[in-house]
Amino acid sequence: MTKCCTYIPQIMLPKTGCDLSKWAVIACDQYTSQPEYWAETDRTVGDAPSTLRLTLPEVYLGEVDVAARTENIHKNMRQYVQDGTLRTLPPGVVLTERWSGGSCPRRGIVLAVDLEDYEYIPGSASLIRPTEKTVVERIPPRLKVRQGACIELPHIMILIDDPDRGIIEPLFAQNDSFEKLYDTDLMQRGGHVTGWFIPKGAQTDAIEDGLAALCDRAAFNRKYSCTDAQALLPFAVGDGNHSMATAKAYWEEVKKTLSADEQADHPARYVLVEVVNIHDESLIIEPIHRVMFGVEANALFDGLIAFYKAQGCKAYTVAQAPLNSAVHCYPYCAAGRRGVFVVEEPKWAIPVATIQAGLDDYLERNSDAKIDYIHGLDVTETLAAKPGNVGFILPDIAKNDLFRGVVFDGVLPRKTFSMGEAHEKRYYMEAKSIVR
């Protein structure tokens, strides 16, 4: 079977004897408003080898010494490679299992994907696409860290939609036969992570074949009830999209200096990711509710109804949701008022896209109105009970609706879903060279 986007890399890990509980540090885009978290991480790491010395926590992006920090990162990378702190494994992938406090672990495969198959531009038909809009202004400061780096330690999570659980999950029945690479607690409430090595061979061929099957056009059309008019989407970036967008920007710079033959296998062309099945039981996909501030309820609903009418839809408010699965419904609450806002014949594939389109239009037309995105039903209702506020309760999200939304609507609206708390995000462990 023809391979689809994937590449079996040579992964780098710390040498035997390194304290992995100090080596592994959470993704740099977490705790960006909590410098005390990073100060405690620094105290925990001390002088031990650590990915803290190889990455730039984004809490420091606005500091005056960011250039010096970046230079030290590049220096530390070179030192870790030269003195053997980092060792290079034979070609292969890492099977990983992460416990972070829930009732089951997150399971994934660490391998590389081809940046030639990834685009973040809206309307792209690439085989790897983000689930949410990429903020291009976030790329340049990250690109400065990657320029001059000799290795990468990305925290990217690529999602696949495999409801039959036939690609990743069966490998864990065989993990006793794989070499255990690491088995360590993670600092700062991070839980525990274990990794096993699968060398390049028949088993990695089977993994790549399973992933390539997600590119089968006929099966894809059946899964999402779509036609060839919709671009294939075997891989969706669920976490770390700005890290991946930065890797893409860097590769576009590098490839300009290379011949076609040199481009084919240059290490910067391939980015290290963790592939996770969206149907993994550990992934709890929670809706993010909306609260509008500085609005009068009747005026807001009149504005929304007019917007949807102009879009060829029918919208109205009722006391109870109709028994019709084809409509998009949103329980709402305001001071002394409750009901359900309904949109019939929606032109958007998933409910969150429908309501966000209407709210965005209202915000553009009413400069005094504001919006916030709220985790938790109780907080939403408390805020919405105050005069001048209206809260919309978003429905639960079916896991394959995330893919369906990107397939039909393009990137999902901002704040579509929440996938784990900060301490559950990926910790840096594996690395890969990005220079020849």
pLDDT digits (tens, 9 = 90+) for 20-68: 999 999 999 999 889 999 999 999 999 999 999 999 999 998 888 999 9
Q: Distance between CA atoms of 218 and 215, rounded to whole angstroms?
A: 9
What would the mean pLDDT of 318-336 be, rounded to a whole number? 93
- Residue 2: per-residue pLDDT: 62
Residue among 297, 221, 275, 300 nearest 109 (CA): 275
Q: What is the pLDDT of residue 396?
A: 87
pLDDT at 68: 96
Distances in whole angstroms, Cα of residue 49 to Cα of each of 38, 87, 155: 16, 13, 18
Task: Please report the pLDDT score of residue 159 as a whole number.
Answer: 96
pLDDT band with cut points at 50, 70 and 90 for residue 131: confident
pLDDT value for 122: 84
Mean pLDDT of 230-255: 95
Paired residues of 236 in beta bridges: 129, 159
In this predicted model, what pLDDT tens digit does every residue of 281-326 receive, in sequence order? 999 888 889 999 999 999 999 999 999 999 999 999 999 999 888 8
pLDDT, averaged across the chain: 94
Q: What is the pLDDT of residue 255?
A: 97
Quick one: pLDDT at residue 418?
74
pTM score, two decimals?
A: 0.86
Tokens of 434: 């990005």
Q: Confidence band (pLDDT; 50, 70, 90) for 102?
A: confident
β-bridge mates for residue 130, sequence order: 237
Tell me the average pLDDT across 214-241: 94
Residue 400: predicted pLDDT: 76
